Amino acid sequence: MKVTKQHIEDENKKNISSQENGFKFLSDTLALKGHNVNAILSKLSEFQVAIPSWALGAGGTRFGRFSFYGEPSNLEQKLEDIGILHTLTQTAGAVSLHIPWDIPSDYRAIKQQADALKIKFDSVNSNTFQDQKNEKESYKYGSLSNISQAVRDQAIQHNLDVINIGNKLGSKSLTVWLADGSCFPGQNNFQTAFQNTQNSLKDIYKRLPEDWKMLIEYKPYEPNFYSTVIQDWGTSFMLANECGEKAFSLVDLGHHLPNSNIEQIVSILMLKGKLGGFHFNDSKYGDDDLTVGSIKPYALFLIFNELVYGIENNPQNPDLAWMIDASHNVKDPLEDLIQSLEAIQEAYAKALLVDQKALKTAQLENDVVKCQEILQGAFRTDVRPLLAAARLKTGGAINPLESYRNLKIRAGLITERGKNTVATGL
Ligand code: AOS
Ligand code: ZN
Ligand code: ZN
């Protein structure tokens, strides 16, 4: 199943006049306000978000999983799906692999396929939250934090293997997310668990290639429900500092206790030059992994506002690894990802419209009302014609979701791959 240039041209013909009208109105309005529309379009085109290899099949919960059929069952097919997303949206030019689910059998072939689809290999994810076949030790009671040296050594070695695999594909960072923690008070000694984790991470860090980063993800709870070793940004920040300058914190939007001020966390991590990566999703209650922007779009915009500020004002912070980390239980995964990609671009575009100079002036005058007006003025702008214009510039679809449906892509995938597909992953 392939989306061709011709497909997109035919699709775009249907929408071109309304797009041109909408874009003209918006770009004239923005230009009058002093915005450089072309600069915004270039920034939108440059903003690429990695798709995790495990998001292309239906997720499911511990109660069950309902397939969407035609899902990819190997790495080649996962790349094909991302290729479809990227052709339509022009913003999914990267993949984030998960080891051991995605070990390539033929590295050259996989690299060639990815190159042809214009997909880069972003951060590689290790997995020490499940036991793997043929492994001696079990992670039931933790991995890098385990009280047993043998278990820790196995988990360290796994991370080194993941770096090795990523290196062959051109990845430049390792993402570590640990399920380690405890389910009941007294089960673990907090200090021992933390120290073991720190020492293990340092062992991995020592063997990180010169031009690589280590991204340390935090999460307050789940799968452990009493304590998690790397529970919050502060813990991840401490560990990153202990490891060294190539180690950073990774923020997953769903990994905060209710009502946390994520935009403030993002802002201060960037000030300290320690924000390395980002996992996008949305949530109502916990780590719900819902479609980006589907529940709290204003919060997403405020986070992007800090990211834009940080990108412009914090040269001490490196370029970030962007990834969608969502799970698709009741939607076609590809449709869900198209919606997420659109929501990310929308929040980014709105953040680019914030008049930073005017905001600073209003802040210096303690004009609280004006500050709010500036932020909400940007948030209330309908930027969708801008996103479509950015996509058009590089050959994407004016309306990716509509084209995905018109081109009957899921039906095509089912014909090709059959109904009895089981995606590897969560
Ligand atoms: C888990 O909750 C985290 O969000 C991880 O980033 C990710 O979903 C997991 O590592 C899957 O590989
Ligand atoms: Zn995550
Ligand atoms: Zn998560």
pLDDT (tens digit per residue) in 288-323: 999 999 999 999 999 999 999 999 999 999 999 999
Confidence of residue 425 (pLDDT cuts 50, 70, 90): low
The answer to whether position 117 is within a domain reads: yes
Residue 13 lies in a domain: no
323, part of any domain: yes
Per-residue pLDDT reduced to its tens digit, 157-166: 999 999 999 9
- State mean pLDDT over 102-109: 96
Confidence of residue 168 (pLDDT cuts 50, 70, 90): very high
Tell me what the pLDDT averaged over the chain comes to: 96
Instruction: Confirm whether 11 is domain-assigned.
Output: no
Inside any domain, residue 207: yes
- Per-residue pLDDT band for 419 (boundaries 50, 70, 90) equals confident
Count of the separate structural domains present in the chain: 1
Ligand 1 atom 9: the closest Cα is on which residue? 177
Nearest Cα neighbor of 58 from 50, 49, 67 is 67
pTM of model > 0.95: yes
Identify the CATH number of the domain in which residue 300 sits. Answer: 3.20.20.150
Q: How far is the CA of 252 from the centre of ligand 2 (A)?
A: 5
Over pLDDT 90: what percentage of the chain?
93
Q: Which of 62, 130, 252 to mutate to test the pocket of ligand 1 (most atoms within 8 A of CB)?
A: 252
CA 246 to centroid of ligand 3, rounded, Å: 23
* Domain encompassing residue 310: 48-354+408-417
Give the mean model confidence (pLDDT) for residues 354-383.
98
Please check whether residue 260 lies inside any domain of the structure. yes
- Tell me whether residue 109 is in a domain: yes
Residues with CB under 6 A from ligand 1: 54, 98, 125, 177, 217, 219, 252, 279, 287, 325, 426
Q: Would you say residue 140 has pLDDT above 70?
A: yes
In a domain, residue 33? The reply is no
Taking residues 179-204, report their average pLDDT.
Answer: 98
